[in-house]
Structure 1
């Protein structure tokens, strides 16, 4: 009987830990920019990841990257590398790090940090002459949206 109570407590604690995503300020990158742990604690949804990659208000990854699997979306860019076959040479941990903040892997990258809220250089408000507000910004993507994009990218394997 005691073992059952202890087991239930472990399950409740584990569920509570999964329900709390890692905040942008808590993200731990390794020396190569990879992020070992899921940011949301939940598996990504590849179908939603594909939607985020083509949504101009969210990831809009196709604005810079060509992705054959998303050919229905117009105007694929050529600024970044093609993402076709990326799952053959990048792990989930590497992809998570690149999507969260590509500059941790590729210094000087023009790819936006999709899961960052502070440390930006901000211009002031040119129309009023007032300086920029110093509070943190909201991340472009949520922890779960990062996991969804990673899940989609992991479907992009070579022929």
Structure 2
């Protein structure tokens, strides 16, 4: 029986490791929420916290997060994220991170997992127009899942 359980666990782990990410153009939003994982792999809250502070995520540029109070320069453009896990479900958080404009028409929040439908596309942070070719989302499917995993830890005190 022990070998059967070990074999089944290994099979589940292998199938998760080879999960294919949902393409940004194939994401299904239902009332702004995205029910299924974009990567097929559970998010890592520690990695999500790093994304909140750096790179294409940089969520604290617009949002205050008490759990990240050791970091400087929290923004005030977006709402504070403290208690966000009590206000939104995991699918709703996933939808907001992937493309907040689906849930909140006119939102200033960037669409982190979107690759088409832009009015004026730039070339990263160069100030130049996009030179053509395939557009990449600001965050990968796994990075979205990591950010959502971190947001789920932000409950009311």
Quickly name the TM-score band, shorter chain normalised: 0.7 to 0.9
Q: State the 1:19 CA deviation.
A: 1.5
- How has the CA–CA distance of structure 1 residues 93 and 18 changed in structure 2, closer, same or farther, with 3 Å as cutoff? farther
SS of match in other structure, 1:19: coil
CA contact (8 A) 1:118 1:136 kept: no
State the match for 2:83 in structure 1. 85
- How has the CA–CA distance of structure 1 residues 123 and 64 changed in structure 2, closer, same or farther, with 3 Å as cutoff? closer
Whether 1:25 aligns to 2:25 is yes
- Structure 1's consecutive aligned runs of 4 or more residues displaced over 3 angstroms after TM superposition are 131-136
- The residue correspondences of 1:1-159 to structure 2 (distance < 5 A) are 15=15, 19-30=19-30, 32-55=31-54, 57-122=55-120, 133-159=131-157
Q: Distance in 2 between the 1:139 and 1:26 partners?
A: 13
What whole-Å deviation, never above 9, does each CA across 1:110-135 have from its counterpart, x for those lacking one? 1000000111112689xxxxx85454
Q: State the 1:15 CA deviation.
A: 1.8
Unaligned runs of 5+ in 1: 126-130
Aligned residues: CA RMSD? 2.5
What whole-Å deviation, never above 9, does each CA across 1:79-135 have from its counterpart, x for those lacking one? 00000001011111000000000000000001000000111112689xxxxx85454
Aligned length: 144
SS of match in other structure, 2:92: helix
CA contact (8 A) 2:16 2:40 kept: no
Q: Distance in 2 between the 1:103 and 1:132 partners?
A: 21
Query: TM-score when scaled to structure 1?
Result: 0.82
Unaligned runs of 5+ in 2: 124-128
Q: Distance in 2 between the 1:149 and 1:89 partners?
A: 16
